[in-house]
Structure 1
Amino acid sequence: MDMHGNGCSRRRFLAAAAALPVMGLVACDSGGGPVPSSGPVVSGTSQAALPSVGGSTSADSYYPSHGNGGYRVSHYALDLHYTPDTGVLVASALITATASQPLSGFSLDLHELDVTEVRVADVPAGFARDKRKLYVRLVRPLAAEERFEVLVRYSGRPGPVRMPWGERTGWERSRDRVVVASQPLGGPSWFPCNDHPSDKAGYRIDVTVPESYQVAANGVLAGTRRESGMTTWSYSHPGPMASYLATVNIGRFTFADQAGSRVPLRNAYPPGAAEEFAHDFGRQPEIMNLFERLFGPYPFEVYGAVIVDSDLQAPLETQTFSLFGVDQLDGKRGKERYVAHELAHQWFGNSVTVADWQHIWLNEGFATYAEWLWSEHSGGRSADDHAARTWSTLSRSAKGIRIGDPGQRNMFDDRVYVRGALTLHALRRTVGDDAFFDVLRSWSQDHRGRNVTTDRFVAHAERRTRSALRPLFQSWLFTEGLPDLPPPR
């Protein structure tokens, strides 16, 4: 298979690299990954200071094959031309990054799509492919902390990435429509990226489709341009945003704004669903107002919900534009907790993002507890009632779960969500309401736009409350047995 397909062409890549400097020469090993040569040793020069190939793996506890080393991305400019009838995507990605070490080459995550050209600093670069990675060989090495741009031209029929346990994530085509729900590994299904939550960036997403289609993507709609029966939709989001939170949704949508919040709220839903949407999402501004009061100012420039004409089974917290299926509309507000859950993720998960997938409870436990807070505020069950019922249900389970490190297969187990919420309720009962909500507000504000770990949250809670809380968190996060809830204060 040639370099522009789903394989690593050793012969052609080595031929292209032959004209380049010998140092750091990249070939393909039997698994299709890059193997840097040892390179010459220069007398009087530290070997560590020589340019080398950035790592093609990350240090992630669960998904080390996703993510790359040697650079940090600051911006993605994506130009997508999509034909709904055929499912063909013709695209380019202009990636702005900074080298974190001297580099002779680096890799990007890209799932199966065909690459036709790679340029670095507007100079053609050698490249090779396997099924999941794009390997780039530089003509001129990059110095540590040097800023650079990478242009990748690519095409194909995007499809989802299959998870280790069989589920799929990323670009999904349904009839002539497209839904992109990428958590946790689906970003590379539609654009080349450093696919790890610790490398967040700003985005510009331009999508050209036939004029009868509409597009919903992250950020603010900067404008539309019509030409020759096609429309280009341009969205801009300064971020920072992890690759798994980027989304593009193509179909037939009605766009509508909502009043009642300081934050601009814009939504998209299928034609004919206006009445159901107005009822089921009618209190979205009120939820926003409550969460701003509890968690601090909303961290981005705009928010809203996009309802796609598909059954998603579960919604997703894509950044600034949470993603729901029509199965979340019932005309009865019966699934309003999802509206609260995905909005809460904009603080906990999107703005404050896990540094490693092991810490997923920091996303899901917090968003689940936000459901309880909205219920308490809106006249439903109190958080105490939710906690008691949840504790009773979990206590009957034959086996518990260590939600501080649940394992790859259990990342999205319901117990991570609800036991995470119970952990926060146990903290609330231990330190009292004033101290508890101070912890949540200061956590979201002090770490805005940053990556975090469980240990950092524990240290933050101890510092803000001036309490020794590590034993409490140890029992709730790292033991399988279910602790008793502390008594109410």
Structure 2
Amino acid sequence: MNSRRRILTGVLAFALLAGVAACTGDGSGGVRGTPGAAGLRDPYFPRLGNGGYDVGHYALTLAYDPATGRLDGRAEITATATQDLSAFNLDLAGLTVRGATVDGAPAAVSRAGNELTLRPREDLDKGAEFRATVTYDGVPQTITDSDGSEEGWLKTSDGALAVGEPTGSMAWFPGNHHPSDKAAYDVTVTVPAGLKAVSNGVMTSEKKTADGHTTSVWHSAEPMASYLATLAIGRYDTTTATALGKVPVLTAADPQVAAKSAALRAGVPEILQWQTENFGPYPFAAAGAIVERDGDLGYALETQSRPVFPLGSFDTPTLVHELAHQWYGDSVSPATWKDIWLNEGFATYSEWLYAEDFAHTPAQKSFERAFADEDAWAFPPAEPPTSEDLFAAPVYQRGAMVLHKIRQTLGDDAFFEILAGWPAKYRHANATTEDFTRYVESVAGRDLGDLWDVWLYGDEKPAKP
């Protein structure tokens, strides 16, 4: 997310625990499968996500009518049972479920708040791959955070925009909506003639249907956390280019902001070239950006392979920030929301590095400015007090300060080894703060406990930078 601080409150109301019946028999009087957990005990959103299975692939087939706001959807979820499973949950906010199957057989469906429970006809064995299909429809919800910013499904004048950090993706498709369960995606979207649908990854086909609609298919082969999934529907002006010799770049802009954003959109390949030189190989098969009018979106977000921006936030530092997230946050994703500083600290430091290379502003100068910001010292970056603080100043500014202190302590050679080595080690995986400190110490060849105690976990502001 961009450096405009978002404050999140009230989100726990969107992850209510579902009541699920207890164990089922195995037909011989014994007990075999048990229900998967209705939450993953995330430190900030304990009921977000679900246990008992691991998703490998989402196939979403969607049709949207902007005139009515209605979304018709079918989600085919391919997953592997991680326990003997008698029932399992999916996160889904609003919308009406019309039916569900597991491996082609009808499944019993129950609903409690945002917990959708499916009970297959037969228990699923641990290690078994299965396919759950959910058919649903309705008008998707917009989730409003305490600062007035919105996520989930945002209705625009000519269509809609779906964004999901941290919980909004459950507003438009059912799934395991915790960043620890990443999956590949195929998204097929049908919209009225004259509109375009833009999502993550590579567009594999686009064709007009017999009734005058347009259907496009988007493929994301690399694992993606659900909060990074996006769908933009509207009358977009699109441009294509190539980055890094082989990566297709697609940018889309609302016609009202297309001209003003054109020059910077054309700069995406150049920025990616600089980033690969510092951060290592680009981790995805596609790249780009989506630029909306300011009234349609209130913040920039690092949606995977194709970040979204309102025009007012579409400037060079923010573009550098969101593209850096493709390495830090999208490819290497947080194991829990407590690890969010690893996303934002690296992305913020990428701004400092870019300013050092192109704006004659040493990173030390950016560090000193951040150090002087009292808001950055409200709490340690690795320990936000509540979910309301996940996108506050310490996560960004003090998170970047941690990285600068590593650079000062170890020197540039070791630091730039870490910049590229960290996303290489955890490419397309999840990582914790402890994973990061352990990795840095392995490169340093020594204990860095004093650095972590002061800059990462310390409550007190040092007397001097």
Cα distance in 1, alignment partners of residues 377 and 415 from structure 2: 29
CA 1:65 to 1:267, structure 2 compared with 1: closer, same or farther past 3 Å?
same
Instruction: Compute the displacement of 1:38 (Å).
Output: 5.2
Change (3 A) 1:399 1:237: closer
Q: Within the alignment, does 1:264 sit opposite 2:242 as a pair?
A: no
Is the contact between residue 251 and residue 265 of structure 2 (CA under 8 Å) also seen in structure 1? no
Counterparts of 1:166 and 1:137, CA distance in 2: 38
Distance of aligned partners of 1:55 and 1:40 in 2 relative to their CA distance in 1, 3 Å threshold:
same
Residue in structure 2 matched with residue 401 of structure 1 by the alignment: 379
CA, structure 1 residues 398+236, in 2 after alignment: closer, same or farther (shift >3 Å)? closer
State the partner residue of 1:442.
421
**Which structure has the larger Rg over C-alpha atoms?**
1
Match of residue 278, structure 2, among 279, 294, 299:
294
**Aligned equivalent of 2:3:** none
Q: 2:259 aligns with which of 275, 278, 297?
A: 275
Secondary structure of the residue aligned to 2:120 is strand
Task: Give the partner amino acid of 1:288.
Answer: L
Shift of 1:129: 1.3
Q: By how many angstroms is 1:270 displaced?
A: 1.9
Residue of structure 2 in register with 1:307 after alignment: 291
Deviation, 1:326, is: 2.2
Which of 468, 472, 482 is equivalent to 2:447? 468
Contact 1:348/1:444 (<8 A) preserved: yes
User: 2:212 aligned with 1:229, yes or no?
Assistant: yes
Quote the residue 1:9 is aligned against.
none
Residue 34 of structure 1 is matched in structure 2 by 19
What is the deviation of 1:259?
4.6
Q: Which amino acid aligns with 1:253?
A: Y
Q: Where in structure 2 are the equivalents of 1:175-186 lying within 5 Å?
A: 175-186=157-168
- TM-score scaled to structure 2, two decimals? 0.91
1:358 CA drift (Å): 0.5
Match of 2:234 among 219, 231, 251: 251
Q: Which moved more, 1:238-247 or 1:471-480?
A: 471-480
Q: CA deviation at 1:90?
A: 0.8
Specify every segment of 5 or more residues in structure 1 that has no aligned partner in the other structure, as ranges. 1-30, 330-334
Q: Is the 8 A contact 2:163 2:230 kept in 1?
A: yes
Distance in 2, matches of 1:103 and 1:163, equals 35
Preserved contact between residue 159 and residue 173 of structure 1 (Cα < 8 Å): no
Which residue does the alignment assign to 2:326?
Answer: 346
AA paired with 2:412? D
Flag the 1:182–1:78 CA change in 2: closer, same or farther, 3 A. same
Distance 1:166 1:102, change over 3 A: farther
Q: CA deviation at 1:42?
A: 9.4
Q: 2:121 aligns to what SS in structure 1?
A: strand
Instruction: Work out the CA distance in 1 between the residues paired with 2:413 and 2:203.
Output: 39
Q: Secondary structure at the match of 1:135?
A: strand
The alignment partner of 1:285 has SS state of helix
Q: Is 1:138 paired with 2:120?
A: yes
Of 372-381 and 475-484, more deviation after overlay is shown by 475-484
Q: Percent same amino acid among aligned pairs?
A: 38
Size of the alignment, in residue pairs? 446
Aligned-residue offset at 1:471: 2.1
Deviation at 1:275, TM superposition (A): 3.4
1:19 counterpart residue number = none
Deviates more, 1:442-451 or 1:268-277: 268-277
Q: 1:178 to 1:272 in 2, by over 3 A?
A: closer
1:310-325 alignment runs, 5 A limit: 310-311=294-295, 312-325=297-310
Q: Give the Cα–Cα distance (whole angstroms) in 1 for the partners of residues 149 and 213 of structure 2.
A: 34
Deviation, structure 1 residue 441 = 0.8
Q: Give 1:325 shift.
A: 1.1
In structure 2, distance between residues paired with 1:80 and 1:42:
39
Q: Does the CA contact (< 8 Å) of 2:23 and 2:35 recur in 1?
A: no
CA distance in 1, matches of 2:29, 2:256: 73
Pick from 348, 368, 390: which aligns with 1:388?
368
Distance 2:190 2:38 in 1: 32
Q: Closer, same or farther in 2 for the Cα pair 1:285/1:60, shift >3 Å?
A: same
Distance change in 2, residues 1:199/1:225 (3 Å): same
- Counting only pairs closer than 5 Å after superposition, residues 48-447 of structure 1 correspond to structure 2 as 50-163=32-145, 167-227=149-209, 228-259=211-242, 261-262=244-245, 263-271=247-255, 273-311=257-295, 312-329=297-314, 335-394=315-374, 397=375, 400-406=378-384, 407-447=386-426
Question: Cα–Cα, structure 1 residues 469 and 450, in superposed 2: closer, same or farther, change >3 Å?
Answer: same
Cα RMSD of the aligned pairs, angstroms, is 2.0
Distance 2:26 2:424 in 1: 48
Q: Judge which range, 463-472 or 93-102, deviates more.
A: 463-472
- Please state how far the C-alpha of 1:261 moved relative to its aligned partner: 3.4
Q: Which amino acid aligns with 2:37?
A: G
Following TM superposition, by how much is the alpha carbon of 1:88 offset from its aligned partner in structure 2, in angstroms?
Answer: 0.4
Task: Look up the match of 2:12.
Answer: none
Q: Give the structure-1-normalised TM-score.
A: 0.87
Superimposed CA distance per residue, residues 220-254 of structure 1 (whole angstroms, 9 cap, x where no aligned partner): 01111211110001100112000000000001111
Whole-angstrom distance in 1 between the partners of 2:400 and 2:17: 42
Highest RCO, 1 vs 2 (Cα 8 Å, sep ≥ 6): 2
Contact 1:105 1:137 in 2 (8 A): yes
